């Protein structure tokens, strides 16, 4: 009974953290959460322990329980790891994709171009999600995909609102276009570079550029022969509890 209740509570809290309704740094109270989900404190406690091991919640003895607040350096590190994992996906896709999957991916990619031409941000976001999910499926490595999805969930609360994508969807589609062509051309080294660079450029565009003197982290990474990418992460709000290591 408690196990299923704990899983349900964990899923509900995780969803709220990922979508930002339980924002980074927010305190979490076991009694209030129990009342919210109509369960006792025991499954709530189990759920919070699970979320702690996943990196969503920080439990500080004699202080409290909080939604993890990632620093700019934490976010930069997550993007660095995500970039490499996405590059590995691209390389695996080259070796495993079949003709039917190629046709499906081409058709899907065309819907993204339509969304760009029409300025349809929501349509592009749906295409973007489907494009990456298609690559994850074709790569055939569920353990790799599991790690990618976890990192994306941890990053999501810090991403810009959907409206901020409007000026960048053409660039994102062009990045997908170059990546798809490298995959179809069986150029594994280029596909890795493009997939990794696409992630880093997405981080730059989504977080925006702000004054470094205000306390932001400038994160430089060079991938293969690609130009150096600079990501200016904005200053995050001050935590109301001990800093996250």
Q: What are 206-225's pLDDT values in tens digits?
A: 555 432 223 333 333 333 33
The span from the CA of 8 to the CA of 196, in Å, is: 34
- Residues 229, 126, single domain; the answer is yes
99-118 helix and 169-184 helix, angle to the nearest 10 degrees: 160
CATH number reported for the structural domain that contains residue 159 in this entry:
1.20.120.530
Residues 88 and 18 in one domain: no
Take residue 60 and report the two structure tokens written for it. 């500080």
Q: Give pLDDT < 70 ranges for the chain.
A: 1-3, 160-164, 204-245
What is the pLDDT, as a whole number, of residue 244?
29
Are residue 30 and residue 118 in the same domain, yes or no? no
- pTM value? 0.78
Query: How many domains, the chain?
Result: 2
For residue 212, tell me if it sits in a domain.
Answer: yes
Residue partners of 163: CB distance under 8 A and separation at least 6: 121
- Collapsing DSSP to helix, strand or coil, 217 comes out as strand
Residues 155 and 137 reside in one and the same domain: yes
Q: Residues 103, 10: one domain? A: no
In a domain, 245, yes or no: no
Contact assessment for residue 69 and residue 236, using Cβ atoms and an 8 Å cutoff = yes
Pair 91, 185 in one domain: yes
Q: Please tell me the predicted confidence (pLDDT) of residue 37.
A: 94
Range of the domain at 195: 72-233
Q: Does some domain include residue 239?
A: no
Tell me whether residue 116 is in a domain.
yes
Domain assignment present for 196: yes
**DSSP-derived pairing of the beta strands 27-28 and 57-60:** unpaired
Provide the pLDDT for residue 178: 96
Which of residues 67, 88, 120 is at a domain's end? 67
- Binning the chain into helix, strand and coil, the percentages to the nearest 5 are 65, 10, 25
């Amino acid at each position: 009974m408690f196990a299923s209740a704990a899983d349900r509570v964990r899923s509900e809290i995780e969803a709220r953290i990922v979508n930002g309704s339980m924002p980074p740094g927010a305190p979490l109270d076991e009694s209030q959460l129990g009342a919210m989900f109509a369960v006792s404190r025991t499954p709530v406690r189990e759920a919070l322990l699970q979320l702690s091991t996943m990196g969503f919640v920080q439990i500080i003895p004699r202080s409290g329980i909080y939604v993890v607040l990632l620093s700019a350096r934490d976010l930069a590190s997550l993007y660095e790891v995500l970039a490499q994992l996405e590059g590995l996906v691209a390389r695996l896709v080259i070796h495993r994709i079949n003709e039917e999957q190629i046709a499906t991916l081409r058709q899907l990619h065309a819907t993204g171009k339509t969304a760009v031409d029409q300025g349809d941000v929501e349509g592009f976001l749906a295409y973007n999600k489907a494009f990456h999910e298609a690559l994850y499926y074709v790569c055939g490595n569920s353990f790799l995909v599991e790690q990618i999805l976890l990192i994306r969930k941890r990053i999501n609360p810090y991403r810009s609102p959907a409206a901020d994508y409007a000026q960048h969807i053409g660039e994102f589609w062009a990045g997908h276009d170059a990546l798809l062509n490298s995959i179809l051309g069986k150029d594994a080294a280029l596909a890795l570079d493009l997939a990794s660079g696409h992630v880093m450029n997405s981080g730059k565009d989504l977080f925006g550029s702000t004054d470094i003197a205000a306390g932001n982290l400038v994160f430089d990474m060079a991938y293969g022969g690609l130009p150096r990418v600079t990501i200016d992460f904005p200053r995050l709000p001050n935590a109301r509890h001990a800093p996250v290591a």
